[in-house]
Amino acid sequence: MSTIRRFRAMDMLRFNNVNLDRYTETYDLGFYLKYMASWPALFTVAEAPSGSLMGYNMGKVEGKGELWHGHVTALTVAPDCRRLGLARGLMRGLEDASEKIHDCYF
C-alpha cells in the first residue's frame, strides 16, 4: 500500500525512477524548490512501503481578485507503478488542498 505525503527537499535525490521517463517533463532543482516553498500542500508524492517514490504531483494556485483556482503543473507516476490509481489519489489531494487550504476553485 502506498502513502501520499508532502514533498520534501530530499525527495529530489530519490525521484529519478519517476522523472527518467519520456512522458515526464523535468525541471531544474530551483523550480521544484520554489513550488515546495510556495505551495507545500499542493506538492505531494506517492511513496511505496519500501520508501521508493512511485509518483508526484506539483500544483499551485493562481488567479486575480476573487477568481483563484488550483493549477496542475506536473503529475507523473513511475512506469512500473502505473495503472494502480496513484494519479487519481494524487489529484484528489490537490483538489482537496486547493479548496480547503487555499479556498480556491479547482
Read off the pLDDT of residues 65-90 as tens digits, 9 standing for 90 and up: 889 999 999 999 999 999 999 999 99
pLDDT in tens, 47-67: 999 999 999 999 999 999 889
Identify the residue with better confidence: 21 or 84.
84
HSE value, Cβ hemisphere, 13 Å, CA-based, for 11: 25
- Predicted TM-score (pTM) of the model is 0.91
